[in-house]
Structure 1
Amino acid sequence: MSQTNLLAALGRALIALIFIASGASKVAAPEATQAYIASAGLPLPLISYLVAVIVELGGGIAILLGYHARISSLAVAVFTVAAAVFFHSNLADQNQMIHFMKNLAITGGLLQVAAFGAGGFSLDGWRRRAR
């Protein structure tokens, strides 16, 4: 296996773990998560909560495994930008600015996966070789 494929897998794993851990924490505290969503002024906290769990857990696992990685990473990238805008937009607050910029950096990594795919060490790579 090439160094490029190993680096792609490592990059996917590091990005995916953020979303898997965040999704798992939402599953562990649904009421608190919905209250936080409502406090940000977003409508339909239950629906927003369910979307967040599906995107973070489902998308995170798909990215980790490299399964439909291009579309999964694009969906998670859109979610990450939305989270930055809705939850970290008080850029006068240094902490919020850091979180906003972190989300943009993560989005950049996700867009790299969307642009170049998961690499050979992935389910997408395995399916490509099996054809």
Structure 2
Amino acid sequence: MFTMNSTPNAATALPFIGRVLMATIFLLSALGKIVAPDANLAYIASMGLPAPVLGLVAAVMLELVGSVLLGLGYRTRLVAALLAAYAVATALIFHHALADQNQLFHFLKNLAMAGGLLQVVAFGAGAFSLDNRRAPVATAAV
């Protein structure tokens, strides 16, 4: 049976694996927006949001930069908090038609992603991260 106490190497790697898995959905979403901007602009406009181009650019930047920083574990708590807020906001704005089973699925998916990201906010990036890199030890002058 797997326990965190019996496999310290696996436990050390789990936060890294979790961050990469969560970052992947944001990275793929950003790439999808870059590849098909017209469809995404139309979707944003159909929701009645102002400045669809600005919204698309902001979403791509947050998803692209956020996914890379989350995966690397740099400024992880802040990035995870921003991505969690973004996931909840996009659930409420774009997936609020809960009578539609597909929209309900996406709404719940976004909430689950936010929950995972809040775990990162609470517990940090883990051992394999830029946040956890060791600072050089200062040596005393002789």
TM > 0.5 between the two?
yes
In the alignment, what sits opposite 1:84?
Answer: 91
Structure 2 residue aligned with 1:69: 76
Counterpart in 2 of 1:42?
A: 49
One-letter code aligned to 1:118: A
Aligned position for 1:54: 61
Contact 1:63 1:73 in 2 (8 A): yes
Matched, 1:30 2:37: yes
Greater Rg by CA: 2
- What is the percentage of aligned positions where both structures have the same residue? 50
Q: Name the counterpart of 1:7.
A: 14
Which 4+ runs in 1 deviate beyond 4 A? none
User: Equivalent residue for 1:120?
Assistant: 127
TM-score (norm 2): 0.87
Helix, strand or coil for the counterpart of 1:43?
A: coil
Structure 1 residues 66-110: Cα deviation after superposition (integer angstroms, max 9, x where no partner): 010100010011111111001110111111111111110010000
Q: Which has the higher helix share?
A: 1
Using the TM superposition, give the Cα deviation of residue 4 of structure 1 relative to its aligned residue in structure 2, in angstroms: 2.5
RMSD: 1.2
Counterparts of 1:45 and 1:21, CA distance in 2 = 20
Residue number in structure 2 paired with 1:103: 110
1:7-30 deviations in Å (ceiling 9; x for gaps): 000000000000001001111122
Give the 3-state SS of the residue equivalent to 2:131 in structure 1: helix
Where do 5+ consecutive residues of structure 2 fail to align?
1-7, 137-142
Who is 1:130 aligned against? Answer: 135
Check the 8 A contact 1:16/1:60 in 2, yes or no: yes
CA distance in 2, matches of 1:77, 1:7: 20
Cα distance in 2 for residues equivalent to 1:77 and 1:12: 13
Aligned counterparts of 1:117 and 1:35: Cα–Cα separation in 2: 37
> What's the TM-score, normalizing by structure 1?
0.93
How many residue pairs end up in the alignment? 129
Q: Distance in 1 between matches of 2:91 and 2:12?
A: 30
Gaps of 5+ in 1: none
